[in-house]
Structure 1
Amino acid sequence: MGENMGNQPRHSGATAAADLVHDGCGRRLSDGEFDRYSRQMIVPGMGKEGQLRLINSRLLIIGAGGLGCPAGQYIAGAGVGTIGIVDSDVVETSNLHRQVGHATARIGMKKVDSLITHLRGLNPLPTYIPHPFHITSSNAADIISQYDLVMDCTDNPATRYLISDICVLLCKPLVSAASVQKSGQLIVLNCPPAPQGLVDGKYPPCYRCCFRKPPPAGSMISCGEAGIMGPVVGMMGVAQAGEAIKILASALHVPSQDSLERNLLQPTLLIYTYDLESAVGPYSFRALKMGGRKKNCFACGENSTLTLSGIKAGSPNYEQFCSVPTSSCKLPPEERITAAAYHEARERGEIPEHILIDTREKEHFSFGSIEGAVNVPFGKFLMRAAVLKRDGGSGSDILPTKPANVDAPIFVVCRRGLDSQEAVEKLKELGVDNGGRRKVIDIMGGMKAWKEEVDPTFPFI
């Protein structure tokens, strides 16, 4: 019997079990739905009522990457009725080790289309809605308002604050996760949702309540820079799906006094760590208890002035708030050199004695480097610079090597050309330029430019 024949009895003269399952508004489970979700419906706490709530729900996944792919699989498999997906990127080969909703055959395809293709193959019953663009201050409210629950599967703080602020103003629950390298975190926010300005111990927090200030800009590194283990981000995505299914099936996404009273568990930040270097105890979970809404919270607090119209008009400025690094350069032209010009000068012997510092992480450095480069990972470089500045130590102590000529120039290269600029500024602050006698120069564009301008075979990662 086909899935479109749900109103037909399975056996002549008998009433199909699916026909007895309805939501009180005329919506019944088809035979296909009954068969597909039967193992889920018999789980205590779910039942036919929970399944119908899922089918009648609308869920938005923002980000079709490492978190969104595994989350989307279980959301679709569980039978959430309408699934929206937001992402502007296309599938790349480097995505595939962790973004399990994509495939080699779909490299170059929009991620939203690729993931929907995968999810539809898993479960054709939900309605899938693609939003093939970035979520921004100007469109976030229009998109999020269409859904009952939001899953933040993005990878940058500015977008996380934006999504949370919109969810507060629209009374939408939010399941937020993040992951990088070998660790991940998960938290459920604004659930059950309450109107902006209601502050009481029983009202759950928003993202700003838990993270009032973003991490320092220099400490924020992407998966492209730091790397990511597939099972770690997969674990967080699956956990997100579990929380979302629980919320929708229990109707905790509906703002009401009853739902608030049923939300007895204290908000918790779940932290997962995967240890590649330990043979025993390869992973660990920690749960940190979080408080409720903060009275002085910028977004949901008593005197909040945050509005949807203000966000659309660009206030607050999320990039500025999070100090997102940009490619703009503060160094004067004489303190910069292109990768091609540096290579040519070396070949001509114009800079025979010099120091070349490569600030990439050691894992990046191990795949290849410019001849003569010395690896000083950027994070360790900054820590050492801070200690020397605090203790009044000699700036030359930060240098990895000391040539005979104390005025030998220093060249700094990084992965893409941002960290090296900051390293040049720090070296000058420490007096390594010997009062201007020694040149400290940034190699523009980093090792990416080296591959593009000098050596196309260089293994840039």
Structure 2
Amino acid sequence: MNNETNSSHNGSSSSVQRDTSRPLTEEELDRYSRQMIVPGMGKEAQLRLLNAKVLIIGAGGLGCPAAQYIAGAGIGTIGVVDGDVVERSNLHRQVGHSTSRIGQPKVLSLITHLKELNPLPTYIAHTEHITPLNAADLISGYDLILDCTDNPATRYLISDICVLLCKPLVSAASVQTSGQIIVLNCPPTPQGLLEGGPYPPCYRCCFKKPPPANAQLSCGEAGILGPVVGLMGVAQAGEAIKILASNLHIPPAEGEERRPVEPTLLLYSYSLTSLMGPFTFRALKMAPRKKSCFACGEGSQERLTLEGVKRGEPNYEFFCGLGAGPKQGVLKEEERISPREFVEKVQTQKEGKYVVLDTREKEHFSFGSIEGAVNLPFGKLLSKAAQLKRSGEMTPGVEDLLPPETKVKDGEEDVPIYVVCRRGLDSQEAVEKLKEMGLDKGGKRKIVDIAGGMKAWKEQVDPSFPYL
């Protein structure tokens, strides 16, 4: 029986022992025969998969390959959560979509693909983004959760809800040429239980603090190789099949002793330039559940609750630094100029020198830039700024950070600097950093942000610009 719905799957918790005594149908025997003869599988394990319910959160680079192998293995009910639509730029890595389905909701596109692969499972579509308001409703009806999202704030949210609802979680991430995967809360253990451990950790136990906001790069910002993220998605499917086939998704019965799945963070990296080897794997053993963990540790007045999550406590965006840092409008009006104004008031003037610093990475810069722009990658600028902050004074080489065009002879006025980035966020911070480093000469040199970055440049000035 196939099922497809856009509403949340609001069933009761399904992490219970189900009947594994029924006979397999002729089609099931034929379809799943090759995996059932693998040592450790067999008919009983296959029936556990057929009875299982898996929720895949994210129908992108991780979710597509994970979903394909989850469906192929015969998981009985597969829910998919995503609020985005298919774009052409997705297709090099999001292998569950196709050119013919560009513009369709990703969830519906992926389910269309999965039905062609295996029509037997029940597919449930959740064409919405997961949020603190709907997370519990989405997760509650499933046995196992796969976090295939692409940002830390959502990863913390998913892990927190899995702790509160006692659900095992397979979490993965990937960007550029590296990826990671970890199994959390498996077997699922009630919040606050520490006696008789060790017990499996949650995401907060492993990553108490998120990475700095300026290091949280999405695939759209930093890029991604398809096989790298695909490998992580396939690994998620493998972990899910192992957990479900072994009944590790079922909470231990009272008095039952069961060792947790050893918490191991698997790191994968691939080099496009190294000739010494195509890839590397590293496995890092993680500590068990922490007594002081806000999510799964012992109770306190600040203990995590479902009601608190729905009220916005904790605030995941703020916790991950996404509510802080430079945003549109943070700089003063005189410190900003639109791309159209830059062309009219600066570029078209015959007299007067100026310099444009483009803070995008060199790979973005190589596809096109404002005429005469000099590439100064944002990461390099931040590194210099940190060096200056540590020393407390102008460090050797700071002036050398700027290109020769910005340097003037004695007696000449300092040329103004116009800073641009991809979307207008990094450039605002870059303006502030340049001033902190003293490169505005106490206000004598203008340092101005080109608002909206190259995205706005394409919209206001040059529609043919290859914005990537």
- Smaller-chain TM-score bracket: over 0.9
Partner of 2:308: 310
| SS of equivalent to 2:337 | strand
Instruction: Please tell me whether residue 374 in structure 1 is matched to residue 404 in structure 2.
Output: no
Task: Give the one of 116, 120, 129 matched to 2:115.
Answer: 120
State the Cα deviation string for residues 68-113 of structure 1 (Å, max 9, x = none). 0000000000000000000000000000000000000000000000
Deviation at 1:437, TM superposition (A): 1.7
Task: Give the one of 392, 403, 409 matched to 2:407.
Answer: 403
Q: 2 CA distance for matches of 1:311 and 1:273?
A: 34
Q: 2 CA distance for matches of 1:425 and 1:266?
A: 45
Instruction: Please tell me whether residue 388 in structure 1 is matched to residue 388 in structure 2.
Output: yes
Indicate conservation of the 8 Å contact 1:203/1:260, yes or no: no
Instruction: Please tell me whether residue 301 in structure 1 is matched to residue 297 in structure 2.
Output: yes
The letter for the 1-side match of 2:449 is D
Q: 1 CA distance for matches of 2:113 and 2:87?
A: 16
Partner of 1:192: 187
> Map of 1:244-259 to 2, 5 A cutoff?
244-256=240-252
Partner of 2:5: none
State the Cα deviation string for residues 24-66 of structure 1 (Å, max 9, x = none). 4764321111110111111111111110000000000000000
Indicate conservation of the 8 Å contact 1:41/1:51, yes or no: yes
Partner of 2:435: 428
Task: Give the one of 287, 310, 313 matched to 2:283.
Answer: 287
Q: 2 CA distance for matches of 1:328 and 1:141?
A: 33
How many residues matched?
441
Partner of 1:18: none
Q: 1 CA distance for matches of 2:107 and 2:254?
A: 36
| SS of equivalent to 2:193 | coil
The letter for the 2-side match of 1:295 is K
Deviation at 1:407, TM superposition (A): 2.1
Indicate conservation of the 8 Å contact 1:251/1:259, yes or no: no
The letter for the 1-side match of 2:188 is P
Measured at CA, do residues 406 and 182 of structure 1 come closer, stay the same or move farther in structure 2, by a change above 3 Å? farther
Indicate conservation of the 8 Å contact 1:192/1:260, yes or no: no
Partner of 2:126: 131
State the Cα deviation string for residues 145-196 of structure 1 (Å, max 9, x = none). 0100000000000000000000000000000000000000000000001100
Indicate conservation of the 8 Å contact 2:394/2:438, yes or no: no
State the Cα deviation string for residues 238-271 of structure 1 (Å, max 9, x = none). 0000000000111100000599745465210000
Greater shift in the superposed pair: 424-433 or 153-162: 424-433
Measured at CA, do residues 260 and 40 of structure 1 come closer, stay the same or move farther in structure 2, by a change above 3 Å? farther
Measured at CA, do residues 207 and 264 of structure 1 come closer, stay the same or move farther in structure 2, by a change above 3 Å? closer
Q: 1 CA distance for matches of 2:455 and 2:304?
A: 41
Measured at CA, do residues 240 and 25 of structure 1 come closer, stay the same or move farther in structure 2, by a change above 3 Å? closer
Identity of aligned residues (%): 69
Measured at CA, do residues 370 and 351 of structure 1 come closer, stay the same or move farther in structure 2, by a change above 3 Å? farther
The letter for the 2-side match of 1:185 is Q
Instruction: Please tell me whether residue 29 in structure 1 is matched to residue 24 in structure 2.
Output: yes
The letter for the 1-side match of 2:445 is R
Q: 2 CA distance for matches of 1:351 and 1:174?
A: 62
Gaps of 5+ in 1: 5-22
